Homo-oligomer: A and B are copies of this chain.
Amino acid sequence: MNGAEAVTAALADTGIDTVFMNPGTTEIGLVQAIANNPSIRGILTLFEGVASGAADGFARVAGYPAATLLHLGPGLANATANFHNARRAASPVVSLVGEHARAHLPFDPPLASDIAALAGIHSKSTETVATSSQAYAATVRAFHAATSAPKGVATVVIPSDLADKPAQPDRSEPAKTSGLTPSSESLHRAAAALAARGAVIIAGGDALRRPAVSKLAALSSHGARILAETFPAAHDRGGELPQISRLPYLPEQALALLQEASEVILIGARHPVSFFKYEGVPSLLTPPSCPVIELVPPGVPCLEAIEALAELAGLDRGAPTAGSREALPEPGDSPLDATGLAVAVANAIQAGTVFVDEANTGGVALQGPTGSSPEHTWLTVPGGSIGEGIPLAAGAALARPDHRVVALVADGSSLYTIQGLWTIAREELPVTVVILNNLRYAILQFEAARRHPMNDRVRSLTSLDPPRISYRKLAEGFGVRAEVAMTPLELLHHLKAAEASAMPMLIEAQLF
């Protein structure tokens, strides 16, 4: 066994079976170790941001980490934007990064850069392997760091000489993952807040997953309002699950919703903050005088805390609030707009669908109709770094291959990581990517217009046309079948055809 094989043995021993990779010369030993370890599948990507985004999606759906394998500092840099998203989603990921041979590094070869400093920007732990025999334990430690509360990205840097060197790993490293439990004081404060009525609960993390979500909704029986954070990592909803709406993105709307709150209880969610700062609008979205109780921090398991809170508050745990499911409207044949899009998508969602939402401005109407769809899991981009929709979909599909993944991706967002389509085609994943083509960075035109009257030069600098991009051709270029939809009816037709085919498909939806 060499150092690289010790790393893959540690992956296998901790149950990690998937490595999203874009390797280079310094990682060849690791490529060979992955190829030759029957417990591990290597998933090749054309760009590192696809690997990191896919690992994020995998972790959110599987509830378990995947690994990534990247080439030196520049490869890691390309993955950093979606590792930023993974960090904000509290997704566990073991990030393996190759490094030059130790003896070579003092000569500052062309590809050398400060890998540890770069990894530190998005990692909760970073360890450079010191001897080949320690490669096993370092990888196991990274697994523990990634999966311990609060979860996150843990990086292992592997010098190429150590990957090649014989290793006698110490496999006694205890494979324990630590949790965190809420303090008795915060539980009692939260119970008192519920009893006093007028409280608002903002939930994130696994408080929004199937095992917790009905119990979470039951906390409203004393009159508390339950909201999901604005961009949840993963939200199980629809079907018979209780409806939990999201805190709005626009700060004015969020402030209006929270202004009557007597207290705010955070369960797995961050204190709500405006995405950006606007003149005259506060950063914090809770009222200044409103007490905020952080019952469970982000990235920490929530279920036990929710159960403990229900018991302390004396709530009936028998019957969770049933979802009030409205009838779904039928899609029409008028030109697609945000409403028509939402109706078509809501009609297409099947039980078990994973729904990836990087729709941005095109997705403003999605929440209502999809609440009446069969039960599905909704993934968003908590870190706000656009360009994760397609990678998230690839990772989610690999984590849950028996269900379809439907990804709504804004045109501008899709173009950061459009290469992810190739991995979807290569692995023949049951993914439908819907590109919302409105020919512009609509959010930038919105933000520009609320500052100054729009002029042609600003409009041009935020426009994706000309030249007109053909997403159909891009998809076909990467080996994915593609269709174009101009109306809600056409979109629904293509969504159903994709579902029936069980193959990848891209639908270019022309938004008007």
Given A80-B77, A419-B415, A31–B117 Cβ distance below 8 Å?
A: no
Q: Is A476 within 8 A of B466, CB to CB? A: no
Given A160-B276, A275-B110, A469–B78 Cβ distance below 8 Å?
A: no
Listed stretches A17-25, A127-135, A174-182, A370-378; interface member: A17-25
A34 within 8 A of B: yes
- Residues on the B chain within 8 Å of A80, using CB: 74, 77-78, 80, 118
Q: Is A103 within 8 A of B477, CB to CB? A: no
Chain copies in complex: 2
Q: Is A28 within 8 A of B467, CB to CB? A: no
Q: Is A275 within 8 A of B416, CB to CB? A: no
Task: Tell me, in angstroms, the Cα distance from A277 to B77 when the chains sit together.
Answer: 22
- Residues on the B chain within 8 Å of A279, using CB: 164
Q: Is A383 within 8 A of B111, CB to CB? A: yes
Q: Is B382 within 8 A of A29, CB to CB? A: no
Q: Is A276 within 8 A of B470, CB to CB? A: no
Given A25-B444, A108-B273, A117-B120, A477–B469 Cβ distance below 8 Å?
A: yes
In the assembled complex, how far is the CB of residue A385 from the closest CB belonging to chain B, in whole angstroms?
4
Partner of A443, one of B25, B122, B458: B25
Given A444-B25, A478-B469, A273–B42 Cβ distance below 8 Å?
A: no
A448 within 8 A of B: yes
Interface residues of A in 102-140 (CB under 8 A from B): 103-104, 107-111, 113-114, 117-118, 120-122
Q: Is B277 within 8 A of A103, CB to CB? A: yes
A56 within 8 A of B: no
Q: Is A161 within 8 A of B277, CB to CB? A: yes
Task: Tell me, in angstroms, the Cα distance from A109 to B383 when the chains sit together.
Answer: 9
In the assembled complex, how far is the CB of residue A121 from the closest CB belonging to chain B, in whole angstroms?
5
B-binding residues in A (CB < 8 A): 21, 23-26, 28-29, 31-32, 34-36, 42, 44, 46-47, 49, 73-75, 77-78, 80-81, 84, 88, 100-101, 103-104, 107-111, 113-114, 117-118, 120-122, 160-161, 164, 231, 270-271, 273-277, 279, 283-284, 382-385, 387, 412, 415-416, 418-419, 422, 425-426, 443-444, 447-448, 451-452, 455, 457-458, 460-464, 466-474, 476-479
